[in-house]
Structure 1
């Protein structure tokens, strides 16, 4: 297999591109050659990224292959439907292959099949205004790596082994790294590394080191 060259994108303005990846293209976008090759995504067309949309991203290398542009469009669309104001569980689940998996790597939890539908509601319950601030994107064929931060306001209860942590309106900005692996235009594996220690600290949850020390 020929290894595709590495292409990196610094995506400080990626949110502007997300707005152009709605399920139904605007009338002015629906016509014309730019969307004539839009792929079918579980019954829903995912518009290819146009040169204008790509221009909104500070691309280090703008010569992404057609295949890479489509993969990037699929991933950006998944971030769009995960936004607090535009949650679309079905669209997120449908973006995965039949045996696709979402791995929440830090706690070691895997979601497959119908369980994929639990991912977005869980975060939106904690942070109704949840937003992923994409900072840097690397596209390499069927693999897309993203440095980002998960932002939001702690307005929903957090269930913990010690009981329920009540929301306090705290703002969170947790460092995160996402790794997307696609196959035939769908997500085969999504590995997500969230800086939970930072997130919980920002939510007002302090680790009880004393109790851990007392056990020894």
Structure 2
């Protein structure tokens, strides 16, 4: 039986842009396993897991994860990494798609993998989404946020 660290390393291999095996990635999870995109408060289950992986790769087709540190503690594997790639596909947002910029991303990330019986039960990805957005040229619109807060405070 593979160690928890080996299972997690295999998950990263399957998620690389030059491999991208969504079904193989999903097969590493328990039946009720979840992939949690923590900065965006999104949870993916079942067939949504490979779809989420493919969606990210459609925006950054050369996605690579540089593993800086992998630490196994029983049924938990903690990983410090950098998500890297080139913005070559449309980036979906609630107000429309950001067209490809060709910009490179290098996003600091920490992942926690919780395993049970040799399978991934929960994958919590804590990526610096604000860094990713800044690197593709999508800075926050603070002026609009202030205006909306002022309108709300005024009861409008």
Matched, 1:197 2:100: no
The CA distance in 2 between the partners of 1:160 and 1:188, in whole Å, is 28
| Higher alpha-carbon Rg | 1
Q: Summarize deviations over 1:135-188 as a string: whole Å, max 9, x none.
A: 111111111001111000000001112211100100000111100000110001
Match of residue 129 from structure 1:
62
Match of residue 154 from structure 2:
none
Q: Summarize deviations over 1:7-38 as a string: whole Å, max 9, x none.
A: xxxxxxxxxxxxxxxxxxxxxxxxxxxxxxxx
Secondary structure at the counterpart of residue 47 of structure 2: helix
The CA distance in 2 between the partners of 1:91 and 1:173, in whole Å, is 25
The CA distance in 2 between the partners of 1:164 and 1:157, in whole Å, is 6
Which structure has more strand as a fraction of its residues? 2
- Cα RMSD, aligned residues only: 0.9
Match of residue 115 from structure 2:
182
Matched, 1:141 2:74: yes
* TM-score normalised over the length of structure 1: 0.67
The CA distance in 1 between the partners of 2:11 and 2:92, in whole Å, is 26
Shift >4 Å, 4+ stretches: none
Residue-pair matches, total: 149
Counterparts of 1:52-201 in structure 2, within 5 Å, are 70-201=3-134
* TM-score normalised over the length of structure 2: 0.93
Match of residue 146 from structure 2:
213
| Unpaired runs of at least 5, structure 1 | 1-38, 40-47, 49-69
Q: Summarize deviations over 1:88-120 as a string: whole Å, max 9, x none.
A: 011100000011111111111111111112121
Bigger relative contact order, structure 1 or 2, given CA contacts below 8 A and separation 6+?
2
